[in-house]
Structure 1
Amino acid sequence: MSRASWVSAHRWAGLTMASFLVIVGLTGSVLAFRDDLDLWLNPDLLTVAPREAPMLDPLTLRDQALRFYPDAKIDEAPLHMNRRRSYELRVWIKDDGATDRLLFLYLDPYTGARIGERAWDHDVLGTRGVLFFIYRLHYALAAPAPFGALGRYTLGVIALIWTVDCFVAFFLTLPPARRANGSGKSWWRRWGPAWLIKSTGGFYRFNFDVHRASGLWAWGMLLVFAWSGVMFNLDEVYTPVTRTLFGASNDVVAIGSPGTRLGEPRLSWPEARDRGRSLMAELAIRERVEINGEQALIHDRERGLYDYVVRSSNDIGEQAQTTVAFDAIDGSLRVSSLPSTEQDLVGDKLSRWLRALHTANVFGLPYRIFVSFLGVLVAMFSVTGVYIWWKKRAARVLHARSVTRRGVVLGQSLHS
């Protein structure tokens, strides 16, 4: 393909992505501080006054929630608790529609009293639900439940186009091959201006330099966020590509006994926690890792398993990734997931790092600030790219009109 063809491909890819990248860039900028903002907006819901009394057992609090909603499904019990925070549970309520309604219930961890609740898909403009709306907008264009998959798939396709366009855009910054009668500058000196933003030359030139130079300086992280977007929303592309290029060991989905799939577990929740602790202790001894605290106990109805999740010394960043999954009927171990072991292939490490980098769960506050800034930068790339296209289009239209006008004048003079 000629350079002009690559320019055209970059132009149309940018125009296709522009509105979507503005949305995901700005919403991602906010979501880098999602927990802090939620705590600021809803302190009455998310915080409690610390006291000397012991907190209740997390599974006791789950039982208390079931007393408030006896017909609901509560398939996840957080095991990590904070003396200054309310205890949050995800409650699936029977709804008249095709899918159950997700409700977030908040309990006092010391007494089990109900502090409040909020729905995942309601109160869009209020303090209770605005961050939920921003999150839904970021990963699924806030599409209503029947069309949520379409929203996620659309953003997955956009992320794939973005990934490819990262390489096209990088190629277009490279200087063209030197002509025989060209200047004597080296290749590196001819590429150098692409990294700079000139303060002279008018607004269009400044806009063009910002678009190109900022893209070069941030290129690596832009690729990270583009490809991780494919990982989150277009797994049918991400997994085969990652497995082919880098290998991945987690390609077997564990399934429990048929009798418990989609039904209630035979192991009670306290029994499952005890079994998870036992299996995790064996894993920690075998792999020589340190367990830094329990995170969650999850009943996966579709697979017929319990997942017991902890934080370990092998985890990347702030996200708990060490897990044992065991049968919900007999407690037999089905699969374990421990980062940074000999079984981890390059593809496994890549996926974990992409997830941590995309969700800003690594490197603390400085990285979250960087991710927030990068989100604004992504939106800016889209705006500047559209402006460049619009100015070039206006120039082409003006030139075409000028040529047409000269042709009319010449025709009239020939016939006069």
Structure 2
Amino acid sequence: MTKALHTPAGAAATRGTRLRPWLVRVHRWVGLAIAPFLVVAALTGSAIAFREELDAWLNPDLFEATASGTPLSPSEIVAKVEAADPQVRVFRVPLPHEPGEALEVGVQPRIDPATRRPFAIDHNEVFVDPVTGAVLGRRLFGAFRIDRPHLMPMLYQLHFSLMTPARWGIWLLGGVAILWFLDGFVAIVLTFPRARPFLAHWRTAWRIKRGASPYRLNLDLHRAGGLWLWALLLILAFTGAAINLNVEAARPLVSAFSTLTPSAREQGAPRLRRPPAEPKLGFEGAFAAARRAIAERGWTMQPLDATYLRPYGVYFVSVAAPGPGHDDGIGHPHLFFDDQDGTLLRAEVPGDGSAGDVFLDLQHPLHTGRIAGLAGRIVVCIAGIVTAMLTVTGVVLWAAKRRRARRPRAVMTTVAAE
């Protein structure tokens, strides 16, 4: 026995035995600390993997337009929406793509001349029939309201920011994602068997025993579920941290290894105007400028929507190939135009640029599963459910062990009292 301990294998086994209790504690307390946030993020992530489809299914009165005919121009849509509510200014206009689909128009409050403050409005989205310009409904995207119009936007905001003020929730979930990512390596080490041969015994960790006790079933679900989806869950954790902490951590870290193109916010900072100037270019002009830029590049694409960033004097136009699935793959281009003369200021094309640019471009499509289209979204949806299950079973296992640990103490106390 003594000689075995002095062999390299024996020394390694001894170190592993000493390290394991510490790893168990790390896994336990990190898991308990992030458990409530991870369950919320996991379940909301599963739901919003199909946010657009579920939103349209829940709210046919908002998303379905019944009129037939030639769609109105963007300027006519803007005029209809602003005439229906003079207290709002349209800042986002989509182009109609499929017959029977309503337009989801973004609005923001105008400044009240009397108070010089923004009007108090109860919505930021207006749903419009593209043929008649009739307003089909309104909602406040991101409001904490558990009703059909607001459910999916609320789940999206919960997943991204926990609906907290400022950026506190975004930072918190970014930190949770970092802990989840690091704990993933601790978790897989804890599945390694101490007995040899390694592979023969590790194979057991990948299985769920039939007819097992409740405790063993929870253990198998926790361990085997984590092993089978380990690589995918690491990707979701890493990309979640990179998305939420993009400015604070992801870009600075990546820039240490690769040159990065300045972000839109960095490039646009000198253009910030207070108070904003009135635009000489309207939405139709922005779409026309986008079509010219598309033609110059030889792209087989068309504009999707335009967003007016008034403080920066910029129109932000999304373009993509015709047909559904324009958000799939690595994403689609975005073009930025000056609101005075239509000059192209910036073109963001996913997959272009340095290795660091491409790496950052991949984070969102990997996190949402859209990198692999419908199949990828299904996998992400399932992964969210599994993550919630792993978290719950982990808490159940901890509670069961805690109850077991207290029983001997209770018995000892009773014996001593007698």
TM-score of the aligned structures, taking structure 2 as reference length: 0.83
Give the corresponding residue for 1:136. 157
**Alpha-carbon distance change, 170 to 102 in structure 1, aligned in 2, over 3 angstroms:** farther
CA drift of 1:94 comes to 5.2
Choose from 112, 131, 134 the match for 1:110: 131
Q: Give the alignment partner of residue 159 of structure 1, picking from 154, 158, 177.
A: 177
| 1:240 matched to 2:252 | yes
What is the total number of aligned residue pairs between the two structures? 391
Q: Report how far residue 47 of structure 1 moved.
A: 0.4
Q: Which of 46, 67, 86 lines up with 1:70 in the alignment?
A: 86
1: CA distance, partners of 2:121 / 2:178: 31
Corresponding letter in the other structure for 1:271: G
Per the TM alignment, residue 387 of structure 1 is displaced from its structure 2 partner at its CA by 0.8
Matched ranges for 1:78-227 at <5 A: 78-93=94-109, 102-120=123-141, 124-143=145-164, 147-176=165-194, 183=196, 185=197, 187-199=198-210, 201-227=212-238
Q: State the Cα distance separating 1:315 from its structure 2 match.
A: 7.3
Q: What CA distance in whole angstroms lies between the structure 2 residues aligned with 1:319 and 1:294?
A: 18
For 1:179, the equivalent position in structure 2 comes to none
Q: How does 1:15-414 map to 2 (within 5 A)?
A: 15-49=32-66, 51=68, 53-93=69-109, 102-120=123-141, 124-143=145-164, 147-176=165-194, 183=196, 185=197, 187-199=198-210, 201-235=212-246, 236-244=248-256, 248-251=260-263, 253-255=266-268, 257=271, 262-282=276-296, 284-285=297-298, 290-312=299-321, 317=328, 320-341=331-352, 343-345=353-355, 347-402=356-411, 408=416
Residue 211 of structure 1: how far off its partner (Å): 0.5
The answer as to whether partners of 1:26 and 1:375 remain within 8 angstroms in 2 is: yes
The change in CA–CA distance for 1:375 and 1:17 in structure 2 (over 3 A counts) is same
CA distance in 2, matches of 1:241, 1:111: 50
Structure 1 residue aligned with 2:15: none
Contact kept in structure 2, 1:324 and 1:337, CA below 8 Å:
yes
Displacement of 1:308: 2.2
- Say whether the 8 Å CA contact 1:22–1:378 is kept in structure 2: yes
Q: Tell me, yes or no, if the aligned pair for 1:74 and 1:92 is still in contact at 8 Å.
A: yes
Q: Residue by residue, what CA displacement relative to the aligned partner does 1:238-257 show, whole Å, maximum 9, x if unpaired?
A: 22233335664354732264
Aligned residue type for 2:250: Y
Give me the whole-angstrom Cα distance separating, in 2, the residues matched to 1:168 and 1:399: 29
Aligned AA for 2:375? P
Question: Cα deviation per residue 1:155-178 (whole Å; 9 max; x = unaligned)?
Answer: 2221221122122212222334xx
Kindly tell me: are residues 102 and 348 of structure 1, through their superposed partners in 2, closer, same or farther at Cα, counting changes over 3 Å?
farther
Mean Cα deviation higher: 254-263 or 5-14 = 254-263
Q: Which runs of 5+ in 2 are unaligned?
A: 1-17, 112-116
Could you say what secondary structure the match of 1:299 adopts? strand
Identity of aligned residues (%): 30
Paired letter, 1:18: A
Displacement of 1:11: 0.6
What CA deviation, in whole Å up to 9, does each residue of 1:96-129 have, x standing for no partner?
A: 8899754211111111122221222558232222
| CA distance in structure 2 between the aligned counterparts of 1:110 and 1:155, rounded to whole angstroms | 42
Which range is displaced more, 329-338 or 396-405? 396-405
> TM (normalized to structure 1)?
0.83
Deviation at 1:33, TM superposition (A): 2.2
Name the SS for the 1:84 alignment partner: coil
| CA distance in 2 between partners of 1:167 and 1:188 (Å) | 18
- Contact kept, 8 Å, 1:50 with 1:84, in 2: the verdict is yes
Local SS of the residue matching 1:54:
coil
Q: Distance in 2 between matches of 1:12 and 1:148?
A: 28
Report the secondary structure of 1:378's partner residue: helix
Partners of 1:71 and 1:3 lie apart in 2 by 63
- Counterpart CA distance in 1 for 2:335 and 2:67 is 32
CA 1:318–1:100: 2 relative to 1, 3 Å: farther
Q: Distance in 2 between matches of 1:68 and 1:98?
A: 15
Superposed displacement of residue 46, structure 1? 1.0
Structure 1: runs of 5+ lacking an equivalent: 177-181
Query: Residues 58 and 380 of structure 1: is their aligned pair in 2 closer, same or farther, counting only changes over 3 Å?
Result: same
SS in 1 for 2:88: coil
Shift of 1:62: 2.0
After superposition, give the CA deviation of every residue in 1:320-379 in whole Å (9 maximum; x if it has no partner).
5212223333433332111233x241x333333331233343444433332222221111
User: Residue 73 of structure 1: SS of its match in structure 2?
Assistant: strand
Deviation at 1:316, TM superposition (A): 6.6
- Tell me if the contact between 2:93 and 2:283 (Cα under 8 Å) persists in the aligned partners: no
Q: CA deviation at 1:50?
A: 5.7
Whether the 8 Å contact between 2:273 and 2:312 is mirrored in structure 1 is no
Q: Distance in 1 between the 2:389 and 2:118 partners?
A: 40
